[in-house]
A and B are shown apart, each in its own frame.
Chain A
Amino acid sequence: MRRKRLAFVWTVATVAAGLYLVVHFFGRDRRLFLPGETTSGHYQIERACDACHAPFQGIRQDACLACHQAGLQAAEDSHGPEKFNDPRYAEDLARLDARQCIACHVEHRPEITGAMGVTLPEDFCRSCHGDVTEERPTHEGMGFDSCGSAGCHNYHDNRALYEDFLLRHGEAQPATVPAAWPQRKAWISGEMRDAGPLGAADADSPPASSRPELIAAWANSAHAAGGVACSDCHAAADAAWSDRPPYAMCSACHELEYQGFTQGKHGMRQAVDLDPMSPAMARLPMHPEALNETLDCGTCHDVHTVNVRQAAVNACLSCHADEHSAAYVDSPHARLWEREMSGEGAPGSGVSCASCHLPREERRIAGDLRIAVQHNQNANLRPNEKMIREVCMTCHSLALSIDALADPEKIRTNFSGMPSVHVQSVDMALSRTE
C-alpha cells in the first residue's frame, strides 16, 4: 500500500516537473535553462536563446558576427579570422582555433570569464607570441598576462596603439588643447519633402489629440523647422493617427541612429524582438526613481522638443548612478559643457557624456561627408582604448590619453586631475628609433 502511494506521488511529481519544464521551454522566459550567469554584454538578450543558439548546432559563428562584425571591421581587427585560414597555421589552430569567436569567448561561464568576456587564461598571447623578446628586447621581463591589461595592446583593436601611431603622435604634443567637436551634419534617410519651416498654426493633429503645450514644444523644434508635421510621425505612411506611434518609426528618417541604438546596450533588446531595456534590469547602479523607465528614442530625446542637448547629459544622469557618472558634474569636462551651455564657450567646446560615449563620427554616405552621432554607446567602450582616436585625442595628447584610460581611479572620478598611471608604450616605441 505504501509503495503504491509512493509510486503515485512519484508519477505526479515527475509529470508536474516535466510540465513545468515544458511550459518554461516554450514560454517567453527560458532563463531557467541558462547554464550559468550570462556576461554583462549579453544578459539583456539572454531570454532570446535563438539569437545565439541554433537547435542541435551549438553557437553559430554568424550569430556572433551578425552583431559584432561591423565593429570588428571598423576596428581593423588585428586578428581577423581571415588571417588564420592559411594551412600554415594548422598547428596553431589545433591548439586554439582563433577563427572562432567562442574559442576565446565562452558564454555562461562566470567563473572563468575575465575582462572583455575572455574565457582564456590571461596570458593567452604567449601561445603564438612566446618569442616576442627576440624581436623586441624592450619586452624582456614583462608577463604575458600584461600584454592586454597594461594599456599597450588589444587583441582586436589596435588602431591607437600600433607602433608607428605611437611614434607619430607620441612626441612633443601639447597635453591638452581646447575641444572643438565637429558640428553634426545629419543624414536623413527618409524622403525629405520641401515643406519649409512650420509653425504652431501648421499643426495638423486631430482636435482630440491636440495639446497646446505639445504643439508649442514641437513648433520650436528642429522637426518643425525642417518641415516635419505632426502627422509625419503620428500618422506615418498614411496610417491612421496614433497618439503613441512606435519608436521604430523614427528610423524611417534616422536610420543610422536607430541602427546604432539597437546595437548598443540601450536598444539591443529591440533588435531581438524583446521588450525594451529598462534601468530595473541594469547591472550598473541606477537611480531608484528611474527604475521603471523603458529605453527608447523618447527616453533621452523628448519627442516634441527633440532637444539634443538634454540628451547629451541630463538624460544620462537621470538614470545612471555609478561613481563615474555621479562624478561628472564636478569634473573639468562638465565645466566646459556648462560654459558652452551658457553661451560663454564656443559651440563644440563643451564635453558632455555624449561627447565621449555617443561620439560624432564621420561617415561617407553616397559620397557626402556626414557627421553623425554614433548611438551605440558601447561601440567605443571596451576596451576603452577604442576612445583614444576619435574622442580623447580631439583635445589630449596620445600619451596622456593612454595613461588616463589605464588609470581606474581617474575613470572613477571622471578624469579630475592628472593620471597617476604611466604606460610605457610611447617611451618604448621612441627608444627603438634612437
Chain B
Amino acid sequence: MTRLLSNPCLRLVAAGIFAIGLACCSSPSTSDQREAGSISPQAMADALHAVLESDRTVYARQVVHRLQDQEEVILASEHWQDDKALPLPAQMFRMGAEMVANKTDAFSYALISKWPVNKQNEPGTEAEIVGLDSVANNPSAAFYARESLGDAEYFTAIYADVAVSPACIACHNAHKDSPRNDFELGDTMGGVVIRILLTE
C-alpha cells in the first residue's frame, strides 16, 4: 500500500477519491436548501418536464425521424401493432403516462392541443384552455395554475410542445383528422400538462 502511494500519480488519485468521499458524506450540496419532501410543486413539475421533453425529443429525432425519414428503415404508424411499425411520439408519450397513472396518483402528465388529431386530446379544463393559449403566445414561459378536479387539488403546469423535428409537422399537416395543416418547424403544436397532487 505504502509502496503504491509513493507513486505521485496514484497519490493524486487517492487524494481525489478521499476528497470526493468526504464531500459526499458531509457536503451541504443541495440537501440543506431542499430537504427531503420539501421540493416545491413547481420545481417538481419543471424537473419532470425536463425529463419528459428530452425523452420525447430524442424519440422524435433519433428514432422516428432517423429511421422513418432519413434511413427509411421502418415507419411510425398510429396502428403500430398491425403495421409492425414504431409507435407515434404521442402514443409513446401516452403509454408512459398511462403506466405512471397505474403506479401513482401523486402526479400525472398528458399531451394536449388546441388543434388535436385526436379529439380526446383537446383542452378540457379551464386551466388547460388558458394555459394552451398562454404557451402558444409565449412558448418559452411555462403556465402555472391551481386546479381542483374531482375531490382533489392539483398544482398544474403547462409547457409548450414544439415541433422539434420535421417528422412532427409532416405527419400532422398531412393527417386527415388534423384541424390544422400549416405547422412549421419550431411552432408550438400543443402543450404538455403536468399535474402534481396537492391533497392527500
Interface residues of A (CB under 8 A from B): 76, 82-83, 85-88, 90-91, 93-94, 135, 159, 162, 164-165, 432-433
Contact B108 A164 (CB under 8 A): no
Residues of B at the A interface (CB closer than 8 Å) are: 78-79, 81-82, 97-99, 101-102, 105, 108, 110, 119, 124-125, 128, 149-150, 152, 154, 176-177, 193, 195, 197
Closest to A82 in B: B98
User: What 4 A-B pairs come out closest when comparing CB atoms?
Assistant: A90-B150, A85-B101, A90-B149, A82-B98
Return the chain A residue nearest B99 by Cβ. A82
Contact check, A165 vs B193: say whether CB atoms are below 8 A apart.
no
Contacting pair A91 B98 (CB below 8 A): no
| Contact (Cβ within 8 A) A85 B108 | yes
Are B98 and A85 interface neighbours, CB within 8 A? yes
What is the CB-to-nearest-CB distance from B114 to chain A, in angstroms, rounded to a whole number? Answer: 15
Cross-chain pair count, CB within 8 angstroms: 48
A88 proximity list for chain B (CB < 8 A): 110, 124-125, 128, 149, 193, 195
Residues on A with beta carbons closer than 8 Å to the beta carbon of B193 = 88
Across the interface, which residues of A come within 8 angstroms of B177, CB to CB?
A: 135
Q: A85-B102, A87-B197, A91-B150 are in contact. List 17 more A-B contacts (CB 8 A).
A: A82-B98, A83-B98, A85-B98, A85-B101, A86-B97, A86-B108, A87-B150, A87-B152, A90-B149, A91-B124, A93-B150, A94-B150, A135-B177, A159-B82, A162-B79, A165-B79, A165-B82
Q: How far is the CA of A162 from the CA of B82 in the complex (A)?
A: 11
With a cutoff of 8 Å between Cβ atoms, the chain A residues found around residue B98 in the complex are 82-83, 85
- Tell me the dominant secondary structure on chain B's binding face: mixed
Chain A CB count within 10 A is highest, among B99, B105, B149, B176, for B149
CA distance A93 to B101 in the complex (A): 15
Complex alpha-carbon distance, A85 and B95, angstroms:
12
Closest to B101 in A: A85
Instruction: Report the Cα distance A85→B195, complex, angstroms.
Output: 12
Query: CB within 8 A of A85: which of B79, B105, B176, B197?
Result: B105
